[in-house]
Structure 1
Amino acid sequence: MRLFALKGSDRLGAAVAARMHIELDPLEEREFSDGEHKSRPLVSVRGEDVFVLHTLHGAPRSPAERLLRLLFFIATCRENGAARVTAVTPYLAFMRKDQQTKPRDPVTSRYVAQLFEAVGTDMVVTIDVHNVSAFQNAFRHSTLLGMQHAFVPRIRELVGTGRMVLVSPDGGGIRRVRQLQDAYTAEMGVAVELAMLEKHRSDDIVTGGLFAGDVAGADVVILDDMIASGGTMVRTARACRQRGARHVHAMATHALLTTASEALFAPEIDTITVSSSVPLSFERGAFGKLSVIDCAPLLAEAIERLHAGGSINRLLNPQP
């Protein structure tokens, strides 16, 4: 087996390799003066089971450039005789547009899937995508991981034994919230209530005020796949506060945050918990309300199981 991590993802890659008790395999990434680049493995990949880790978010490179570098490196490995190449993309960009909502809209999730297939990618591994059904339809050979079991201890730490309600900031996220509900109930033996806020977005204008569920006097955990500007989290937190929530905690897998993100300053949100799936654009300790859960153990175990032919289902749904 070979494990590579491209520049910008090497910190997470090193953490994954450490969990696997191996070292990252060396590679070269060379920049040309006109902005082009090349990359190549510095060890033989012929006949090897190759895993390439690269998350598709993080300064200074754009998601598009990160994707292109990952595709080029995968193609290089296949051209040099790799038996199998798996792309490990903790955050998979361009998944927001998974259907046509307006005339002539792009469906970028499908286009990205076609690009991975075109360069010979055998499998794409990622964590918590925007729309599970659309992802599974677009990516024919994929492994979708989830952070729900890793989030359970943090939730227990935040809410203790009091009444807790899990909240989805929109209708599309209710499946994600139910998965966390199942994980929490299985591990803690505690029943958890659910709530949801209506949300419609058009031309970056968000509407919808229907709130389903009872959060009065409860500790609330709002769950989403990502936090970018933070507007969705703040909108949901305010709705929960207006309905009598005692504490409000925001939780998301992918922290596409900048220091300008609204959620970092909103008084309605007590804490924010994210995973290490993307590198933060600021120091972790810059904001006291922000906590980061390491996703390296999940990725390391998934890679080991995929290499050995083990069960990913058992990883995501551990037996009590």
Structure 2
Amino acid sequence: MKTILINLESDQVLAGQLCQALNAQQGEIELRRFPDDESYLRVLTDCQHHNVVIFCNLYQPDNKILRLLLLSDTLRQMGANKIGLITPYLAYMRQDKQFNPGECVSSRPFATLISASLDFLVTVDPHLHRYHSLDEIYSIPSRVVHAAPLIADWIKNHIPKPLLIGPDSESEQWVSRVAELADAPFQVLHKIRRGDYDVEVTLPEVERWRQHTPVLVDDIISSGRTMQETIIHLQNAAMPRTTCIAVHGIFAADAYSQLNAVADVVSCNTIPHPSNQIAIAQAIASATRELLEE
């Protein structure tokens, strides 16, 4: 039974890599909008009795989620076997607690919506801050691809004498794993966040690491303020030029240009961006095959 992969408004290059890695048939769909801005969707590939994987990167999800639900329902009506979702960036994971009365803890209703429409989910390092696993909110089988081995390999091949630096105490377990795989020392920042763009960081003693290249590692770079503050401290300590690495490079507003002016910026290709240097297709394909074979 041939697996069919349908790219729903996402990175064409990564979609092609996934299709090849999965030895899948490329599914064809027709998408357009009616004059009233409602969506028209038609599946052109015969999907009856086939497993179908939808590649839909849910970065900036609000313009994609309705079409994803329309597509999954159409595939179900066509008699598709399993219908899975590959989304390198899983949206609505950062709001995982109610901080003020009346706030929507959006990670939960979003997970309910996805779980009701699909049979499995594959993603890359979702923002699991207060959740121990996706199973706490998603009721479908899932696989999380961990970028730590991929980042460690990149560091070993590109950075001489690296010193890995994590953004806060919560990152220690993750950054220590990358450091272990890269056979490198690491330090963790002490961070106080007062708002989206108001972050204060302090570094442990760095004198002993002056001959090392600092490598700031985080799962998400959004505003970039934490890294910018850290780079100032590293510059004041007369350390070599910093490398900033993110699994997911969101780079809100002018975050990338500001970081790129003072550091080398690298990201996994979970979100298409000029900083993409770390490939994820093979790891995603491997996780997807596991779920298709279950």
| TM-score, length of structure 2 as denominator length | 0.86
Residue 125 of structure 1, CA deviation = 0.9
Corresponding residue number in structure 1 for 2:54? 52
After TM superposition, which residue ranges in structure 1, 4 or more long, deviate above 6 angstroms? none
The 5-angstrom pairing of residues 168-183 of structure 1 reads 168-183=166-181
Matched, 1:196 2:188: yes
The 5-angstrom pairing of residues 241-256 of structure 1 reads 241-256=235-250
Matched, 1:116 2:118: no
Corresponding residue number in structure 2 for 1:315? none
Corresponding residue number in structure 2 for 1:128? 125
Corresponding residue number in structure 2 for 1:156? 156
Q: 1:170-212, CA deviations, whole angstroms, 9 ceiling, x for partnerless residues?
A: 223223212312332xxxxx3x222122233344253443434
Residue 101 of structure 1, CA deviation = 2.8
Matched, 1:209 2:211: no
SS in 2 for 1:297: helix
Residue 254 of structure 1, CA deviation = 1.4
Indicate how the Cα distance of structure 1 residues 267 and 109 shifts in structure 2: closer, same or farther if over 3 A, else same.
Answer: closer
For 1:211, the aligned partner's letter is: L
Residue of structure 1 aligned with 2:76, choices 78, 92, 96: 78
SS in 2 for 1:88: strand
Corresponding residue number in structure 1 for 2:34? 32
Residue 77 of structure 1, CA deviation = 1.6
Unaligned runs of 5+ in 2: none
Corresponding residue number in structure 1 for 2:146? 146
Measure, in 1, the Cα distance between the counterparts of 2:79 and 2:40: 18
Count of residues in correspondence between the two structures: 287
Unaligned runs of 5+ in 1: 185-189, 285-289, 310-320
Q: Is the 8 A contact 1:97 1:109 kept in 2?
A: yes
Measure, in 2, the Cα distance between the counterparts of 1:303 and 1:17: 11
SS in 1 for 2:186: strand
Corresponding residue number in structure 2 for 1:317? none
Corresponding residue number in structure 2 for 1:273? 266
Measure, in 2, the Cα distance between the counterparts of 1:276 and 1:128: 12
Matched, 1:293 2:291: no
Residue 126 of structure 1, CA deviation = 0.6
Q: CA RMSD in A?
A: 2.4
Q: Is the 8 A contact 1:241 1:268 kept in 2?
A: no
Q: Is the 8 A contact 1:228 1:255 kept in 2?
A: yes
Measure, in 2, the Cα distance between the counterparts of 1:175 and 1:146: 13
Indicate how the Cα distance of structure 1 residues 271 and 106 shifts in structure 2: closer, same or farther if over 3 A, else same.
Answer: same
Measure, in 1, the Cα distance between the counterparts of 2:115 and 2:90: 15
Corresponding residue number in structure 2 for 1:43? 45
Q: Is the 8 A contact 2:120 2:291 kept in 1?
A: no
Percent identical among aligned pairs is 24
Measure, in 2, the Cα distance between the counterparts of 1:300 and 1:212: 39
Matched, 1:231 2:225: yes
For 1:232, the aligned partner's letter is: T
For 1:123, the aligned partner's letter is: F
